[in-house]
Amino acid sequence: FQKSMAGASPALVQRIPASAVGDCSAEAQWASPVFTACGQLWSLRMGTLGGGAPGTQFFCLLPHGHDERLKCSIFFAKRNGQGFKERRIHDWPMDLAGQPWGPTLDANELAKYKQEDGSVLIMVHADSLCGYADLQDFSATPPLRMTPR
């Protein structure tokens, strides 16, 4: 993994504590510190979807003080030696600029990323900002293939 990510500069590397991941009440939410990516301020939020399936959590990027959309990847680390999963955020709709956007994980998928202590390790790697003229459908682009070492 280290060799395949050589030269990469993540915008955010964060450990979400087990207490936040395990709390599936409607009020439960967690937020990263504000970070900079592509010259703009962002935070990553995690919480439970109201009315969603039990254990389902959202992980969304929240713009701070702007209405840009970030093309990025969120990497979820699996347990030691099992690699990681990339979730690409390249499909942020223009009409939701300035609003939170990101993936939702059901309880089964989220369980794959919980570490032995119940925490979740994530990395956000920014690609670029989505321009208003950027109409390409990036959600159809296959994910970057990296082999953990």
3: DSSP letter: T
- Residue spans of beta strands (DSSP E) within 17-89: 29-31, 35-37, 40-48, 57-64, 69-77, 84-89
**Whole-model pTM?**
0.77
Residue 50 and residue 13: Cα distance in Å, rounded?
27
Q: 101-141, pLDDT tens digit by residue? A: 999 999 899 999 999 999 999 999 988 888 654 444 444 44
